[in-house]
Amino acid sequence: MEIGDAIPCRCPKCRSTDLTLFEQFTVCDVIAVKGGKMADRHAGEFPELTGRVWGECANPACRHRWQFRRSPVMAAFRAGT
């Protein structure tokens, strides 16, 4: 997906197509322990998509927040392939 690609979603309350989408990932925190003490700490290299996507309406009169049943991001990605 690229900037300008269509994403099929709208606010269920006011029907606006101006939104902010929040896509949830799981990232591991990797901690190395040597001699019983933390020696190193960094974020894991392979974040996993959870499939959970939330939306927030950008209409100032609405500002509705909700969780999508199906990811509109994945739907747009599949439509582009």
* Whether residue 77 has pLDDT greater than 80: no
Q: Note the pLDDT of residue 43.
A: 85
Residue 6 in any domain: the answer is no
**DSSP secondary-structure letter at 67?**
E
Indicate the pTM of the whole model.
Answer: 0.68
List, for residues 27-68, the tens digit of each pLDDT value: 888 999 999 999 999 988 888 888 899 999 999 999 999 999
Residue 44 in any domain: the answer is yes
Within 8 A by CB and 6+ apart from 2, the residues are none
Residue 38 in any domain: the answer is yes
Distance CA 21, CA 54 (A): 6
Q: How many domains does the chain have?
A: 1
Residue 48 in any domain: the answer is yes
24 lies in which domain range? 19-79
Residue 39 in any domain: the answer is yes
In the block, tokens 């990811």 appear at 71
> Residue 63 corresponds to which tokens in the numbers above?
């500002």
